[in-house]
Every structure is written in C-alpha cells, then in structure tokens.
Amino acid sequence: MKEKIRLALAQISSKRGDKEGNLRKIEERAKKAKEQSADLVIFPELSLTGYVIRDQIYELSETIPGPSTQKIEEIAREEGIHIVFGMPELSEKTKATLFNTAVFVGPEGFIGKYRKMYLPTHSVFEEKRYFRSGYQTAVYDTALGKIGFCICYDLFFPEITRLARLKGAQLIVAISASPAVRRSYFEILTAARALENTAFLAYVNMVGVQDGLQFWGGSRVVSPTGDVVAKAKYDEEDFVVCDVNYSDLRSAETFIPTLRDLRPELFDELKKSSESL
C-alpha cells in the first residue's frame, strides 16, 4: 500500500442526460490526471448523467456493472489510474429501484460502490422521490490505502464518516452536487468531518447550472487537522491535483485523539434517543 498518493479533483459541469458526452469528459480528465501522475481522480455526484434529471432518471440509470461502468473501467485500465464517479444505479433485482451511487474502479477493474444513505427531500431536493437509501457504509482496502465514501447530504450526518473511519478509512471521498445557497454549510462540514475523525477528506462538487440550481464547485482536500490543503475555484470547471501523505495521520491522531477518546456507550444512548425523537 502506498503511503503517499496523489489525488486529482475533477470539478466538472455534467451535461444533463448526455452520458456519452460526460463519459468523454471523464476520459479526458482521467488522461489529464494520469499526465500529472495522479493515482486517483474523483468526479462529482451523478457526474455521469447530471443532477437534475427528474423523470428521465429511469432511462438514464444503469446497473453496476453496466455499460458506463465498463467504459470507465476501460479508461482506468488504459490510464492505470483509479476513478471515482457518481451515477444513478438501477438495482439488478428490479426494474425501477434506483440508488444514488458512487462507483470506485481501478486499473484492475471494479473495486466497489457506495449507495447514498441520506437522500435530501426538502427545499429544492427530491431525491427520495426517485432513490432508495443505501444501507451500508463502504470502505475499500486498496493499493491507495483504505478509502471510505459518502455523498453530499451524508456529510450532515457524522455517523457515516465516523463509521467509515472506524472501519479504517484513511481517506474519505465525498462526492457532491451542492447548489450555491448551501456553500457555507459544506465548507464547515467538510472541515468538521475530516477533523473529528482525523482523516483526509476529498470533496468534489459539481459546477454548472441545472434548472436554476447553480452548483458552486469549491472542491477541496481537507487534512486530518481540518486544514484545506487544496481547493478548486468556485462556480467554474477546474482541475486540482494534491498529494496526500498518510504518515500525517499519526501526528494528527496524537494531537487530536478523538478516536482514542470515543465513548461507545453514548452510541447506545444516541440510538435510543433518535428512535424516540
């Protein structure tokens, strides 16, 4: 396992409903990432299809594996790079049960996926209308270290990243499609999730405008002490490369020993209290 890896944050504007065009963009950015010696290139939530696709989601969703994931596996194999991207996933067992999924592939092929657990259905968001919630945290032990996942609104719920960290995640990949009026929340939450878990966190947000929603970009890598060590531009496409050195985890954990100080009995209380809210 590598101790030091290079991340590429591919902050793109996905064209809605245009999987072919978006796949070309993903391929182009993957090549660019490889040219800059990145080990992992990360794309936003639902980057394969765009975010506001409403009823068109039924024709745009695919199983995983499926044609688009196979295409991205080929890109990863050809470029010798790891890729994370987002897409609407069609359950293999049904005809119209969908998940909002992050897909993780590497030079050796498909590694795993994470299905978004917290689906925002308030304000301008209508994800529960279309998606079923995921039920499992995802941490994958790879050549690039132990990598955990969350998607956008999941960041408001510390249990997702906490569970990923407790399962050993050194790097948490958070993909997102966050509109501009919520920028300040995510700037706080990404730092908090990294800091409270003393883990690296790579946040990649969409840009572009869809149905009046202006996605704000601002993708970033946050260190285990909560510092923003790399940041993409607001509101426009950008591509940022950043090195992550896992040896920093030790000094962060000793300086901020939140994992040592965890109190498991509080989780029982948390469970009981949340059930009776």
Q: Which residues contact 259 (CB under 8 A, 6 or more apart)?
A: 165, 166, 197, 198, 253
Residue 22 or 210 having the CB closest to another protein? 210
Number of other residues whose CB lies within 10 A of the CB of residue 137: 21
Residue 214 or 258 having the CB closest to another protein? 214
Tokens for 159, please give them.
């249990």
Q: Which of 24, 54, 250, 271 binds another protein (CB under 8 A)?
A: 54
Residue 55 or 265 having the CB closest to another protein? 55
Per-position x/- string for 113-142, each x denoting binding to another protein as judged by CB under 8 A, each - no binding: -------------x--x-------------
Residue 18 or 141 having the CB closest to another protein? 18
Q: Which of 161, 210, 219, 223 binds another protein (CB under 8 A)?
A: 210
Is 271 among the residues that bind another protein (CB under 8 A)?
Answer: no
Contacts for 186-190 with beta carbons within 8 Å, 24 or more apart?
186/155, 186/218, 187/218, 189/155, 189/156, 190/155, 190/220, 190/222
Site for another protein, residues 150 to 209, rule: CB under 8 A:
180, 209
User: Which amino acid makes up residue 153?
Assistant: Y
Number of other residues whose CB lies within 10 A of the CB of residue 28: 14
Q: Which of 23, 53, 173, 202 binds another protein (CB under 8 A)?
A: 53
Q: Which residues contact 233 (CB under 8 A, 6 or more apart)?
A: 11, 217, 218
Is 261 among the residues that bind another protein (CB under 8 A)?
Answer: no
DSSP-derived secondary structure for 250-271: HHHHHHS-TTTT--HHHHHHHH
Q: Which residues contact 266 (CB under 8 A, 6 or more apart)?
A: none
Is 16 among the residues that bind another protein (CB under 8 A)?
Answer: yes
- In angstroms, give the least distance from the CB of 263 to another protein: 29
Query: Residue 269 and residue 238: Cα distance in Å, rounded?
Result: 44
Which residue's structure tokens are 């245009």? Answer: 18
Is 58 among the residues that bind another protein (CB under 8 A)?
Answer: no
Is 212 among the residues that bind another protein (CB under 8 A)?
Answer: yes
Q: Which of 18, 56, 91, 225 binds another protein (CB under 8 A)?
A: 56
Query: Residue 190 and residue 193: Cα distance in Å, rounded?
Result: 5
**Which range, of 21-29, 46-54, 239-247, 262-270, touches another protein by CB under 8 A?**
46-54
Catalytic machinery residues: 45, 116, 152
Is 214 among the residues that bind another protein (CB under 8 A)?
Answer: yes
Residue 149 or 216 having the CB closest to another protein? 216
List of residues contacting another protein (CB under 8 A): 16-17, 50, 52-56, 126, 129, 180, 209-212, 214, 235
